[in-house]
């Protein structure tokens, strides 16, 4: 088999993007999930719907708006000059922002579900034991919702690895900078490099299988723990 040497470049870039996106999503998504699980405001479902929109929106639509927003005439034109760039579009930070928005529902929803399943009672018990809300959150809510965090992290990571439309719209196809796995496969096929394409594709199938299997095992463990 004669593979071109740069086959690992998109793999590394994809893993970097997915890992960074997952970390950002856990940091940003946890307070959102907590608020959605606990708030009693009537308009919280509107926020929930906004977070969930990427589930049904064609990735190209999201990608289009992000391209506008990240470009020189949008917010990207204001932010990017801070480190001397002209735009956030077609850059790695732009990809992270796009991935965070696009994978948000996959992280927020499982964590929100876990917080809701936990109910108010453990937090109330902690409060009656002199625990501040902050301490109760870290010592009670987070450990009790840990399966939700795990599910969210895995789904967020996997979904970022598999995204195509948004990346193509805002990142383009710059090898080493924005060319991720799914785009690379597309590229190899376009150039009739079938060997490279099939190696990457097979790797993705194995990866997807592992993700789904892990999710199912976590779910099984959750059911057992709940009973």
Q: Which residues bind another protein (CB under 8 A)?
A: 121-122, 124-133, 136, 139-140, 143-144, 225
SS (H, E, C) the chain: CCCCHHHHHHHHHHHHHHHHHHHHHHHHHHHHHHHHHHCCCCCHHHHHHHHHHHHCCCHHHHHHHHHHHHCCCCHHHHHHHHHCCCCCCCCHHHHHHHHHHHHHHHHHHHHHHHHHHHCCHHHHHHHHCCCCHHHHHHHHHHHHCHHHHHHHHHHHHHHHHHCCHHHHHHCCCCCCCCCCHHHHHHHHHHCCCHHHHHHHHHHHHHHHHHHHHHHHHHHHHHHHHHC
Nearer CB in complex with another protein: 69/136: 136
**Smallest separation (angstroms) from another protein to the CB of 133:** 7
Within 8 A by CB and 6+ apart from 78, the residues are none
**Smallest separation (angstroms) from another protein to the CB of 132:** 6
- Separation of CA 99 from chain center: 6
**Smallest separation (angstroms) from another protein to the CB of 122:** 6
Nearer CB in complex with another protein: 38/177: 38
**Smallest separation (angstroms) from another protein to the CB of 215:** 21
Nearer CB in complex with another protein: 5/128: 128
Nearer CB in complex with another protein: 62/145: 145
**Smallest separation (angstroms) from another protein to the CB of 23:** 24
Nearer CB in complex with another protein: 126/169: 126
Nearer CB in complex with another protein: 2/128: 128
**Smallest separation (angstroms) from another protein to the CB of 110:** 18
Residue whose token pair is 């796009």: 98
């Amino acid at each position: 088999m004669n593979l071109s040497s740069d086959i690992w470049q998109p793999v590394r870039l994809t893993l970097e993007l997915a890992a960074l996106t997952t970390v950002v999503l856990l940091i940003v998504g946890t307070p959102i999930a907590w608020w959605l699980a606990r708030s009693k405001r009537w308009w919280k479902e509107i926020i929930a719907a906004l977070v969930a929109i990427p589930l049904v929106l064609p990735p190209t639509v999201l990608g289009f708006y992000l391209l506008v927003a990240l470009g020189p005439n949008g917010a990207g034109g204001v932010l990017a000059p801070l480190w001397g760039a002209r735009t956030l579009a077609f850059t790695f930070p732009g990809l992270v922002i796009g991935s965070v928005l696009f994978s948000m529902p996959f992280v927020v929803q499982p964590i929100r579900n876990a917080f809701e399943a936990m109910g108010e009672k453990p937090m109330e018990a902690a409060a009656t034991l002199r625990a501040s809300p902050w301490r109760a959150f870290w010592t009670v809510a987070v450990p009790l919702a840990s399966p939700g965090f795990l599910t969210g992290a895995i789904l967020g990571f996997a979904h970022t690895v598999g995204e195509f439309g948004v990346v193509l719209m805002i990142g383009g196809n710059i090898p080493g900078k924005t060319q991720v796995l799914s785009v690379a496969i597309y590229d190899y096929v376009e150039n009739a490099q079938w060997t490279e394409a099939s190696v990457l594709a097979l790797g993705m199938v194995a990866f997807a299988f592992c993700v789904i299997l892990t999710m199912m095992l976590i779910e099984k463990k959750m059911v057992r723990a709940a009973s």
